[in-house]
Amino acid sequence: MKLGNTTMEVSSIALGTWAMGGGDSWGASDEAESIKTVHRALERGINFIDTAPAYGNGLSEELLGRALKGKRNECILATKCGLLWGPEDEGAVHKSRDGVVIRRNLSPASIIEQVEKSLKRLGTDHIDLLLTHWQSIPPYFTPIEETVQAMERLIEQGKIRSYGACNLTLEQLKEYQAYGNPSLVQERFSLLTRSKQALASYCAEQGITFQAYSPLERGLLTGKVDLDTKVVGTAKASVAWYDAEHRPQVLHMLDSLKEMAGSYDCTVGNLVIAWTRQAEKTMNVLCGARKPEQIEENSQALSVVLSGADWKAIDDLVRPLLT
């Protein structure tokens, strides 16, 4: 599929590297396994890779830089800007984790500095897609117009090829459009999380790629979780569907999908990814992985195309859980 209205072509499933950063969010990560995962993704035809400076406070980008040595031209590489964690960094407080305070800053000067650091960690001279990670808030609010101007300047300098935004409202996206040309919007979206449906539909109308993150609800929708599976890391702990009240309902729903998965000769997780991919015409599905077997399984969903009737059957099955 095309990345927005650029000339870049990306796989409809992307590799997410948040978990590779480890830390409080995901628990300890294995560097060698993470690098093998990147290589396996490329071998399986997944050429779109997403990371961010804040994933492991630079670790995810550094791992990716090592993994892509000699392979940089095989992928479309996306990273982000807007979250800082240095003791001297200024910005609005976003959250605290791993012993540091994460701050938001999307000022032009900060973006340009952040990109230079990302280029160094990634071991590359350009970033294919730069995304604002979280939107600017007081007391360090930067108008979207100024943020876009900085990104346009980076395109002129050859440091980035395109840009977009994560975690924003429809009104904010329209502001990005008023001042520039965003290629992609990245938002949380899944079978169980539909709060950004209107934004996804708008992106489809506008020809903007909508990239769904946490499409498998951080492992819950893979079909490999049971009632006794322990939740490790704050990323999974923050998913309400994992709790004792909701998990039995979700697992029962997944059990109901096993027969359909068999008819498509795929896993339940593949079925969920395929459903997500077909939710909108510009949908891209961001699947996190840090083990080769995880991306191996996810990549099999590239060849799964649901019939209209089966897509609706899955949707109808899940609807009662959403109310």
Enumerate the active-site residues.
55
DSSP character at residue 72: G
Q: For 217, what's the count of Cα atoms within 13 Å in the CB-facing half-sphere?
A: 26
Structure tokens belonging to residue 229 = 């599976």
Q: Which helix (H) or strand (E) holds 166?
A: strand 163-166
Inter-CA distances, 288 with 20, 70, 83, 212, 296, Å:
9, 23, 20, 11, 12
Q: Which helix (H) or strand (E) holds 91?
A: none
DSSP string, 202-257: HHHHHT-EEEEESTTTTTGGGS---TTPPP-SHHHHT-GGGSTTTHHHHHHHHHTT
Name residue, tokens 């079909």: 223
Of 315, 172, 323, 184, nearest to 253 (Cα)?
315
In one-letter notation, the amino acid at residue 268 is: V
Torsion of CA 257, 263, 269, 272, to 10 degrees: -70
Contact 212, 190 (CB under 8 A): yes
Q: For 306, what's the count of Cα atoms within 13 Å in the CB-facing half-sphere?
A: 25
Of 136, 156, 127, 108, nearest to 61 (Cα)?
127
